[in-house]
Every structure is written in structure tokens, then in C-alpha cells.
Homo-oligomer: A and B are copies of this chain.
Amino acid sequence: MRDPVRAALDVCPVEVSIAVLGGAWKLSVVRYLLTRTHRFGELQRAVGEVTPRTLTRALRELETDGIVTRTVYPEVPPRVEYSLTELGRSLGPVVDWLEQWGESYAKTQATLSSDATLGD
């Protein structure tokens, strides 16, 4: 188990969830994998401007935490597919929820910032 997760265990269950899902790109990855299995390159293009190193680390951590599965096909050229575990799929509802919340939050803040801009 990763250290941040272990540390969160001593605090509160919600901190455990954040320790597992809190990193940048992680929930985006889960979101795309909810639709279907992706190859590394697909994932990279899907989530946007993420460097391969950062994406690899996010995927490795999600793998360690039991959220994604990594399957290597010993072919040339190499092919690696990422998919969700049962546990990963169980995140469907909350990813959905957070996506909608984030969306409506963005709208709210857009309104606030246009108000605030008047006072700039």
C-alpha cells in the first residue's frame, strides 16, 4: 500500500478516498476508462497535455491502489491496455457526480468572476 493511503487510514475514510483519487489526472483517467479500455497513447491524447512520465506515474499508482489493470501484449510494436478493476468501476457514480459538480461549479465561478471583474 502506498504511504499517502496508509497515512490517511489513521485519519478518516474520506481522506483515504482523497489519497487514492486526489492526484491530478487520476480521475480523468478513471473517467475515460469507464467508457472502455484504453491504450497508453489513447489515454494520453484523451486527457490532454499530460507528459508520459506523469501519466505513467498516475497509472502506476492507480494500479497499486487496485483501481486499474495494466495488460501488456508482447507484440511488435508494443501494445499496453489499461482497464478498470471491479473497484475502479465502482467509482462510476462518484466520477459522474464530481464531473457534474465541477461543471456547475465552473459556471458559478464564471458568474462570480465576471461580477468581480467589475471591481478590478
Contacts and interface: CB of A to CB of B under 8 A. Distances in A.
Interface of A: 1, 5, 8-18, 20-28, 31, 47-48, 66, 87, 90-91, 93-95, 97-103, 105-106, 108-109, 112-113
A90 to B, nearest CB: 7
Contacts of A27: 14-15, 17-18
Dominant secondary structure at the A interface: helix
Nearest to A30: B14
Nearest to A93: B97
A18 B109 CA distance: 15
Given A5-B109, A66-B109, A87-B105, A99 B21 contact: no
A62 to B, nearest CB: 13
Nearest to A11: B48
6 contacts: A12-B28, A13-B100, A15-B24, A15-B25, A66-B112, A94-B97
Given A13-B101, A87-B108, 13 more contacts: A13-B98, A13-B103, A14-B27, A14-B28, A14-B99, A15-B102, A17-B102, A18-B22, A18-B23, A18-B26, A18-B27, A90-B101, A94-B101
